[in-house]
């Protein structure tokens, strides 16, 4: 189960740059073999690079850019992305588990959990509209009611959503924040 996002954008950009450089080199090599004028002449490249020294500003800037870009790609590959799946509680380790660690049996994708909790919120009496945002460590429910008093609706909504979160068996139960607004004034 993939619990963290994949770093697709850095990988895609790196792959596109490498494909473009490889295609340019292959095109120039084929053109040279066929006796045509290459897109990028090898003599021109070696001539320009032969004039540069290690202390030349262009070489130092290119080395700095390459080092920073490499560091960014390294960090993007090592540091995990945002979690998309909230894991369920682990089941105890059995005799087949040599390390003695629990086994994660599944999890809830944040979007699916938000949809489920939104439906649960809409089932509460007095709630006309609801939106739910699920993050790794918190769930925020914003509801709207046509009733003048929001306190009873907020209590019922908090109890319903909290009960649903408890029943799901998440490894770490996120904090719950519930807000209810009314279209009518109390009075």
pLDDT in tens, the chain (187 residues): 556 667 778 888 889 999 999 999 999 999 989 999 998 888 888 888 888 999 999 999 999 999 999 998 888 878 877 778 888 887 665 666 555 555 656 888 899 999 999 999 999 999 999 999 998 889 999 999 998 888 999 999 999 999 999 998 888 889 999 999 988 765 5
Q: Which residues are CB-contacts of 4 (< 8 A; sequence separation ≥ 6)? A: 80, 81, 82, 83, 84
What is the set of domains in the chain, with CATH numbers? 8-78 (no CATH), 107-182 (3.30.70.1350)
User: What pTM did the predictor assign?
Assistant: 0.60
Instruction: Determine contact, residues 103/88, Cβ cutoff 8 Å.
Output: no
């Amino acid at each position: 189960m993939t619990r963290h996002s994949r770093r697709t954008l850095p990988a895609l950009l790196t792959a596109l740059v490498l494909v473009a450089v490889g295609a340019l080199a292959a095109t120039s090599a084929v053109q040279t073999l066929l006796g045509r004028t290459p897109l990028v002449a090898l003599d021109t490249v070696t001539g320009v690079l032969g004039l540069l020294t290690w202390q030349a500003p262009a070489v130092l800037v290119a080395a700095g850019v390459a080092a920073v870009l490499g560091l960014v790609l390294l960090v993007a590959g090592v540091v995990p992305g945002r979690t998309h799946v909230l894991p369920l509680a682990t089941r105890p380790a059995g005799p087949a588990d040599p390390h003695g660690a629990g086994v994660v049996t599944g999890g809830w994708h944040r979007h699916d959990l938000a949809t489920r909790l939104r439906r649960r919120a809409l089932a509460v009496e007095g709630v006309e509209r609801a939106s739910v945002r699920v993050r790794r460590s918190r769930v925020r429910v914003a509801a709207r009611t046509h009733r003048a008093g929001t306190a009873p609706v907020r209590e019922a909504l908090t109890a319903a959503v909290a009960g649903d979160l408890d029943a799901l068996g998440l490894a770490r139960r996120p904090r719950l924040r519930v807000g209810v607004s009314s279209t009518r004034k109390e009075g």
